[in-house]
Structure 1
């Protein structure tokens, strides 16, 4: 049975601030790279296998860390920073982490979250997800699945709002990613007990560049999403 924390964090109704982030979809749509559901499916597939895998692996590792007296949050935080080269991506991750933290501390008060906040008051979203799932008794695989799902469901929802896509077709595109999502979760869970420097580090240069461009355009134009 999935932990309640994993289900709650993956729920679009969770007040974690994810609704203001498009995961790169807004910039991609503005550049004509996403115009319909097939384009969106390809975008989500690439995002899942790169930034999604990184986030899932660190969420899984955070579950393991949450069970240790010396969690090593500073090292995990630094390693995730190193795998997120674009400042805009780092800011988006920390903004979501801080927003989710406010709700999480009310629902799952724990010294684990206190220790994480002592390292940084703006934790990366993946670390916050993993810490909460661990507090709730969930497994590394559950945290990885939650983060991997959020890596595609949030951008998919943004695409519906931005492009007026058929939500039923978009939902089907997410379901079609099941084999890839399962593979990402398995890889992330397997890596959970590794030292932080050995966690997966696939790159997504185009996403990084579009994230930086989005920040620039956001200052000059009215944009619906922060990232």
Structure 2
């Protein structure tokens, strides 16, 4: 009989939309895409999710895997991981959103899985980026880099899909089907991310998504003047 993964239940909790990490307040760029008429139905949502997974999702998965590996095996990489992810996030609005979600995760995670690793993480970066906080929590709970990366990749598309249901009134079953259709991509991206878990932070992957950067900046400017459903 295969020994159970002690961190798998924690990863499932972290990937659950009910985990109080603040992710429900962010659309991952889909609100701006809807406002511009680029996402109008489940077909265009599926294309948006595919692109987001292969760019922002792959980036988040790589840094989450590295953070989980650091939390489990020790090391003084938190400041470097945070700085390198910051450098890979050109949009100030996206950086702010990522750190806001990271703070939410840390607040919830410290109660769920108290550990000294949190002190090291917060000493290095008081407001960690979301993927780094996610990886730290997963690693503290005993999850390996692959499961941590899979959670990050999944969250990169499940949140926008859920947001789009609210924004456009889409059939939630069809929106969920658009997420599950990317299962093979999720597995591949998580496996690739796990394979880079022990690289120096400067050598981690750096996929870019200029459209998402532009959406984030436009959304940030607009929501100061208009009522929007999501913070980002």
TM bracket, shorter-chain basis: over 0.9
Between the aligned partners of 1:132 and 1:106, the Cα distance in structure 2 is 11
Q: CA deviation at 1:72?
A: 1.3
Match of 1:196 in 2: 201
- What is the SS of the residue equivalent to 1:191? coil
CA distance in 2, matches of 1:65, 1:172: 34
In structure 1, distance between residues paired with 2:107 and 2:196: 28
CA deviations over 1:36-72 (Å, ceiling 9, x no partner): 0000000000000001001000000001111344331
Q: Aligned residue for 2:165?
A: 160
Pairing 1:5-154 to 2, within 5 Å after superposition: 5-154=10-159
Write the distance in 2 (CA, Å) between the matches of 1:134 and 1:185: 15
Structure 2 residue 211 is the aligned partner of structure 1 residue 206: yes
Deviation above 4 Å: which 4+ runs of structure 1? none
Task: Give, in angstroms, the shift of residue 107 of structure 1.
Answer: 0.8
Distance 1:143 1:68 in 2: 14
**How far off is 1:5 after superposition?**
1.5
Report what 2:181 is aligned to. Answer: 176
| Count of aligned residue pairs for this structure pair | 227
1:114 shift after superposition: 1.1
Distance in 1 (CA, whole Å) between partners of 2:126 and 2:23 is 18
Give the unaligned 5+ runs of structure 1: none
Structure 2 length normalisation: TM-score? Answer: 0.96
Change (3 A) 1:138 1:69: closer
What is the TM-score with the length of structure 1 in the denominator?
0.98
